[in-house]
Amino acid sequence: MTAVEAGATHLRENPFEIARNQLRRVAEAFDIDPNLVAVLGACKKAVEVSVPVSMDDGHTEVFKGYRVTHNVARGPSKGGIRYHPDVTLDEVKSLAMWMTWKCALMGIPFGGAKGGVVCDPKRLSRSELERLTRRYTSEIINEIGPEKDIPAPDVGTDGSVMAWIFDTYSMNKGHSVLGVVTGKPLTIGGSLGREEATARGALYCIRDAVAKQDRSLAGMRVAVQGFGNVGSFLAKFMHEEGAIVVAISDSTVALYNPKGIDVPAAFAHKRENRTLAGLRDAEQITNEELLLLDVDVLAPCALEQVITDRNADRVRASIICEGANGPVTPSADAILEDKGVLILPDVLANAGGVVVSYFEWVQGLQEYFWKEVEVNAKLNDIVSRAFDETWETAHKRDMPMRVAAYGLAVQRVAEATVTRGIYP
């Protein structure tokens, strides 16, 4: 048996410390009771499990998995499951806390959770991935459920993984439980519009921000880091709006064309080859160079902490849209603030996914499914309302969008906690 541990990580700073420091800063700005800050700064529950998997060659590997619930004051907890070699408990805790704020900012009745397995899904066969997913689900089966905690996709997981979680949970309950997980394929109770929802929400935020500046998306130069669920659809939507997507990247390569990448060709190439490497009509650059390009909109849509105090002063974008969770560190935030860069923070910019996950959960509970135009219109209403509330708060209180967004969210969770009272 081999135990699989986290290797060298992409994280330079402890993400949970970052999340807690953000909470403290926001609590000060919004005058939130320190007793409540102590409650909100801790995760309600963190479960660590070992996940033994019989590999195709006959040996057994033992993976480490986590499921963390940060807070349930406003409803059952909700959050994705990440399969990545760098997953750590503190990373999962920070992502769970951000989910709490994201759901509160959007006004949807969920708390925050997150899960992860320390593994490299690209190195697993499909049947190994299925066995790992089913065993991980069995290990956390008492933690999840439609009224309790509802997983969804995140980095390294997709609709197939959600289908296996749904099936494993349902087999154990003896009947299909549609509401246990979101991001399911359409054939088994997924929602129309869910796959594109995170990117669509990000597009709505960029569109609203650009409108506030009396500019238009058409002709804007855009760079997108990450070409997975969030990045690929955001690049596609921006291209369809007439923006010029000058750079895209994935974990293997970054590509640049000042006249614009052929985004539909990139989309097809990635679907066929599972990598952007080999895409024609673009110059190869590094992922670091992509972040520093002279563009109007920079959208980091891969992992955390890619814009730090090491490179923030060289960022040339005027708008940063955080498609990923936590791509800008607090020290980079301060530098970018001084430079006048408008940051559309993660809890606002990438909340489209959890909003349509909420719609999927509601549709699953009712066993009544909506048209895609209905899903997108309702998503637009929720994201644009949250954008306006954040924009107004930021301008009224003269604070960055991040502090305003987190502040509104933390206030709502704090109010729910006070209303419910601290048990017993």
Query: Catalytic amino acids?
Result: 114
Burial-class residue 69 by CB neighbours within 10 Å (0-12, 13-18, 19+).
Answer: buried
Given 22, 69, 198, 390, the residue binding ligand NAD (CB under 6 A): 198
**Nearer of residues 209 and 302 to ligand NAD, judged by Cβ:** 302
Tell me the C-alpha distance between 201 and 102, whole Å: 12
Which range of residues in 62-70, 220-228, 362-370, 403-411 is near ligand NAD by CB under 6 A?
A: 220-228
Tokens of 151: 């997983």
Beta strands at 111-118 and 60-71: parallel, antiparallel or unpaired: antiparallel
Tell me the C-alpha distance between 383 and 208, whole Å: 10
Under rule CB under 6 A, residue 261 binds ligand NAD: no
Q: End-to-end alpha-carbon separation of the chain, Å?
A: 45
Given 22, 88, 249, 393, the residue binding ligand NAD (CB under 6 A): 249
State how far the alpha carbon of 183 is from the alpha carbons of 79, 120, 179, 318, in Å: 11, 21, 11, 32
Given 350, 376, 380, 411, the residue binding ligand NAD (CB under 6 A): 350
Tell me the C-alpha distance between 360 and 93, whole Å: 24
Under rule CB under 6 A, residue 202 binds ligand NAD: no
Which range of residues in 86-94, 154-162, 213-221, 379-387 is near ligand NAD by CB under 6 A?
A: 154-162
**Nearer of residues 191 and 198 to ligand NAD, judged by Cβ:** 198
Given 168, 229, 363, 417, the residue binding ligand NAD (CB under 6 A): 229
The size of the interface with ligand NAD (CB under 6 A), counted in residues, is 24
Given 36, 40, 230, 247, the residue binding ligand NAD (CB under 6 A): 230
**Exposed e or buried b per residue across 118-150, where buried means at least 16 C-beta atoms within 10 angstroms of its C-beta:** bbebeebeeebbbbbbbbbbebbeebbbbeebb
Under rule CB under 6 A, residue 165 binds ligand NAD: no
**Nearer of residues 43 and 302 to ligand NAD, judged by Cβ:** 302
Under rule CB under 6 A, residue 156 binds ligand NAD: yes
Tell me the C-alpha distance between 192 and 228, whole Å: 19
CA atoms within 13 A on the CB side of 189: 22
Tell me the C-alpha distance between 339 and 208, whole Å: 21
**Nearer of residues 22 and 350 to ligand NAD, judged by Cβ:** 350
Under rule CB under 6 A, residue 228 binds ligand NAD: yes
Under rule CB under 6 A, residue 226 binds ligand NAD: yes
The residue of the chain with the least Cβ separation from ligand NAD equals 228
Identify the residue whose tokens are 């499909």: 126
* Binding-site string for ligand NAD from residue 273 to residue 302, where x marks contact by CB under 6 A and - marks none: --------------x-------------xx
Tell me the C-alpha distance between 203 and 60, whole Å: 44
Under rule CB under 6 A, residue 91 binds ligand NAD: no
Tokens of 424: 């017993």
Site of interaction with ligand NAD (CB under 6 A): 153-156, 198, 225-231, 249-251, 287, 301-303, 323-325, 350, 353
